[in-house]
Chain A
Amino acid sequence: MSTNETKPVELKLYKAHEKVYPRETKGRFQFKRKLAVFVLLGLFYFLPWLDWGGHQAVLFDLPARRFYIFGITLWPQDFIFLALMLIIAAFSLFFFTALAGRLWCGFACPQTVWTEVFIWMEQLTEGNRNKRMKLDKGPWNFNKIWRKTAKQAMWITFALWTGFTFVGFFTPIKELAVGVWTWNLGPWETFWMFFYGFATYGNAGFLREQVCLYMCPYARFQGAMFDKETLIISYDVARGEPRMRGKTRREAENPGDCIDCTMCVQVCPTGIDIRDGLQYECIACAACIDACDEVMETVGLPKGLIRYTTENSLAGKESRVFRPRIIIYGIILTLLLSAFGYALFSRSTIDANVIPDRNSFYRIVDAKRIENVYNLKIMNKGPVTAQYQVTATGLDGLKVDFETEDGLTAEPGELISVPIRIRADRAVANKKIHTIKVIVNEVDNPNNSSTETVKYFGYDK
């Protein structure tokens, strides 16, 4: 700041926070946002109640260390899928940000979505923007008290319900509901329910745009993913300026299209003026587009004074969507998604481990044959009880033998451990060490298999 002065200068770092009262808007983008709210929150509140094949459709069962996602059961061994999913999420973010800016912030971020709902409740109880501002300034009379109480009651109920649903993703929600009803909950459920409820209440009710401005890491680095072809919400300065209104406007010779009604400022949930240019506070909710379009229609000017456009097209240059950045991100994303899908649906639900018995190299069975002993461990990662069979390849005439009462049967999630003997001819297994493959597969579904490579000690005398 000061390069030549030796005397340090104190700058005022922060402005006191001013409450933002976003004005309600209607329009095509607000319709899409509402749709997003209904779809996303609908999924959130509805999914835990859905059952699928005898268990809750989506359940992250942490105590049992398994995740149910519809027909798929994931175990800690499937960590790779979580990692892949996070990488895919990151690339989607890069792709969509490069394409059309902060789509995530405007339409899908939980912060935005829940804030929308909380603002609706505020409008329902306290009225529109002007009424809300007047109410906050006014004295604490009966009207203010009951309106504020009603709002708080709605907010708190909704937040608690949200906390309950959140915990319902980790604990079977029907048992949880009974627990709540009979006031008989474990300390963890109670804590997380109130914690998440409180976070919802605080973030969507009070912090709102401050979360985006001060707390969100994405807001700080999203600008790095923009280029001159990225779709951004922008005010057309060339068309709008000089802005003027009222008498000045009527008397002016050549006024710009902006009538300076400040509607775009009033509807903004983060309280910025889009006419100042692209700002990091802008969450791309497109409320200003809808508001301005409505005004332009009323005054009989063409719509789109504020619109989705690119930096290049605003500067009068040619603009193209398909550029190397988009194509490369697109290809990487498609590859990752296909790999993820393929890996997920072709994965084996058998986790087999073959551990050699370390006490002996080989045992002589009779004049012709020897055997090696192993310990076979099979874990059933599938959703149903399965029976398995074991075969071995790699040498001619290998024979697998084991003794159990009911064959190799494992329930979902069960780990069975069986000693197995693999026999071979002395004449064939005549080297010191051979390498063989032990194949475990499901009796009913032979394609579902797991192959382990192990050492086999031969008869080299």
Chain B
Amino acid sequence: MPTQPITANKDFNERQIKRIFYRRLGIAIWVSFLVAAVQSVVFFAQFDPAYLNEIASITISIGRWQGYALGFVFFWGFNFITGLFCGVIMAMPRTKLAQRTAHK
């Protein structure tokens, strides 16, 4: 496996960082989609979106179909944000201190 120090090839590093970012983005999108599907099923089996619309404080009228779709998009969005945060926090910050400690 070809390895090289991180400072040796700047272009390569830049590409690699981009790849890692896109990979994390892809994972966050995909996993949040899967979980949102399950969440929607469990949530809407218990709560009727039409009824939720009736008791909600907003005055826009939302039908069942729209309710399901909106719910799914909300779940997906929030899960995606969670996933993205995990990805960002998991990556070690690129400071000198972090580099020294991470590999000891």
Residues in A lying within 8 Å of B, measured CB to CB: 2-3, 5-14, 62-63, 65, 76, 79, 82, 186, 188, 215, 217
Closest to A191 in B: B69
* Cβ contact within 8 Å between A188 and B46: no
CB contacts between A and B, total, < 8 Å: 56
Query: Looking at the complex, which one of A5, A13, A215 makes contact with B19 (CB distance below 8 Å)?
Result: A13
**In the complex, what distance in Å separates the CA atom of A324 from the CA atom of B34?**
33
- Give the bracket for the number of chain B residues in contact with chain A: 20 to 34
Q: Which of B3-11, B54-62, B74-82, B83-91 contacts A (4 or more CB under 8 A)?
A: B3-11
* Cβ contact within 8 Å between A12 and B103: no
* Cβ contact within 8 Å between B45 and A9: no
* Cβ contact within 8 Å between A13 and B4: no
Give every chain B residue within 8 A of A6 (Cβ-Cβ): 99-100, 103-104
Distance in angstroms from B79 CB to nearest chain A CB is: 14
* Cβ contact within 8 Å between B1 and A11: yes
**In the complex, what distance in Å separates the CA atom of A283 from the CA atom of B2?**
29
Given contacts A10-B4, A10-B12, A12-B1, 20 further A-B contacts (CB under 8 A): A3-B103, A6-B99, A7-B103, A8-B99, A8-B102, A9-B3, A9-B5, A9-B6, A10-B3, A10-B13, A11-B1, A11-B3, A12-B3, A14-B19, A14-B23, A62-B64, A63-B64, A65-B64, A79-B46, A215-B30
Distance in angstroms from A1 CB to nearest chain B CB is: 9
Closest to B38 in A: A86
* Cβ contact within 8 Å between B6 and A10: yes
**In the complex, what distance in Å separates the CA atom of A13 from the CA atom of B18?**
12
**In the complex, what distance in Å separates the CA atom of A65 from the CA atom of B12?**
54
Give every chain B residue within 8 A of A13 (Cβ-Cβ): 16, 19-20, 23
Main secondary structure of the interface of B (DSSP, over half): helix
Distance in angstroms from A84 CB to nearest chain B CB is: 13
* Cβ contact within 8 Å between B16 and A10: yes
Give every chain B residue within 8 A of A76 (Cβ-Cβ): 45-46, 48
Give every chain B residue within 8 A of A79 (Cβ-Cβ): 45-46
Closest to A62 in B: B68
B52 at the interface (CB under 8 A from A): no
Which 10 A-B pairs rank lowest in CB-CB distance, beginning with the nearest? A79-B45, A8-B6, A63-B64, A188-B65, A9-B3, A10-B6, A11-B3, A76-B45, A6-B103, A7-B5
22 A-B residue pairs with Cβ-Cβ distance under 8 Å, sorted by A, are A2-B103, A7-B5, A7-B103, A8-B102, A8-B103, A9-B4, A9-B5, A10-B4, A10-B13, A12-B2, A14-B19, A14-B23, A62-B64, A62-B65, A62-B68, A65-B64, A76-B45, A76-B48, A79-B45, A79-B46, A186-B65, A188-B65
